[in-house]
């Protein structure tokens, strides 16, 4: 069963996707009477404070497993592709680092309070067998809730420099894709927007069907499922 935090996060992400679709459909009509430049200019008017607050918001979102997609998208819209990409990536790096060290310093009880045991058990099994390969795959495509990986890795013996390189390499494709969509909302939609949106749709579908995809990618999870099925049949457990 999902925790209240996970349910709230899912609702926020769903509403964001709905608003994004509405923006694609009705955005041109809305633009006739409003200026996105005014909104963007107002935020940028805060100068360095705008950058600092944005990075802080992204940083906080990671360890508490809150949806960072809307924030990254806004970063592309407000700060543009290049600046938005770098400050969003900085926020993800800082947030992931914070998550890594809070579980390393506090131990497993905090991890179990923030992450479902289902994901902990699955990733523990995969990490023992595949190591950093599993981490990189999981950061790049959302077969696991991405932000929970940093919390989990804090309990492993992984060195921070290796963790940092995996965080950077794994987050670059996802952050860039979302930033491009946000930047196109300001500069205007194009063929690139459609291409990136299609890739984003694939990522959303991966997140929705992540359990099946995890079992397809990682054979050890199919073994777990078989073992659970055998135990359930022995003890007459039904779902």
Inter-residue contact 147 to 65 (CB < 8 Å): yes
Inter-residue contact 71 to 54 (CB < 8 Å): yes
pLDDT band at 46 (very low <50, low <70, confident <90, very high): confident
Helices (H), the chain: 4-31, 36-44, 48-61, 69-79, 81-106, 108-114, 117-130, 132-140, 146-153, 160-187, 191-208, 210-217, 219-235
Inter-residue contact 65 to 48 (CB < 8 Å): no
- The predicted structure's pLDDT at residue 169: 92
Cα separation, 13 vs 69, whole angstroms: 8
Cα separation, 145 vs 138, whole angstroms: 8
Looking at per-residue pLDDT, the higher value among 31 and 89 belongs to 89
Domain ranges, ordered by start, for the chain:
4-235
- Environment class of residue 147 by beta-carbon count within 10 Å: exposed (0-12), middle (13-18) or buried (19+)? buried
- The predicted structure's pLDDT at residue 197: 78
- Residue 43: CB partners within 8 Å, gap ≥ 6? 50, 78
Cα separation, 144 vs 166, whole angstroms: 15
Tell me what the mean pLDDT of segment 41-68 comes to.
85
- The token duo for 17 is 């996707």
Inter-residue contact 89 to 59 (CB < 8 Å): no
For the chain, give the mean pLDDT: 75
Q: What is the pLDDT of residues 137-189, one digit of tens each?
A: 888 877 777 777 888 898 888 999 999 999 999 999 889 988 988 888 777 77
Cα separation, 225 vs 198, whole angstroms: 32
Cα separation, 173 vs 146, whole angstroms: 13
Inter-residue contact 177 to 73 (CB < 8 Å): no
Q: What is the pLDDT of residues 12-42, one digit of tens each?
A: 556 655 665 555 555 555 445 555 666 677 7
pLDDT band at 234 (very low <50, low <70, confident <90, very high): very low
Cα separation, 81 vs 21, whole angstroms: 21
Question: Of the segments 80-89, 122-131, 187-196, which one has the largest average pLDDT value?
Answer: 80-89
């Amino acid at each position: 069963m999902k925790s209240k935090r996970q349910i709230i996060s899912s609702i926020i992400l769903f509403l964001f996707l709905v608003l994004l679709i509405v923006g694609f459909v009705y955005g041109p009509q809305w633009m006739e009477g409003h200026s996105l430049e005014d909104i963007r200019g107002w935020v940028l008017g805060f100068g360095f404070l705008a950058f600092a607050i944005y990075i802080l918001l992204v940083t906080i979102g990671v360890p508490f497993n809150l949806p960072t997609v809307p924030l990254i998208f806004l970063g592309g819209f407000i700060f543009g592709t290049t600046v938005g990409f770098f400050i969003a990536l900085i926020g993800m790096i800082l947030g992931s680092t914070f998550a890594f060290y809070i579980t390393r310093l506090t131990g497993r009880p905090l991890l179990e309070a923030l992450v479902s045991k289902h994901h902990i058990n699955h990733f523990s099994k995969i990490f023992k067998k595949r190591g950093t390969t599993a981490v990189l795959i999981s950061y790049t495509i959302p077969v696991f809730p991405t932000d929970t990986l940093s919390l989990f890795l804090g309990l492993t013996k992984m060195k921070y420099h290796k963790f940092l390189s995996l965080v950077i390499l794994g987050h670059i494709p996802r952050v860039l894709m979302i930033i491009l969509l946000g930047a196109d909302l300001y500069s205007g939609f194009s063929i690139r927007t459609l291409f990136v949106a299609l890739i984003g749709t694939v990522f959303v579908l991966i997140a929705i069907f992540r359990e099946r995809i995890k079992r397809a990618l990682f054979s050890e999870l199919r073994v777990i499922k078989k073992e659970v099925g055998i135990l359930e049949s022995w003890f007459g457990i039904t779902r």
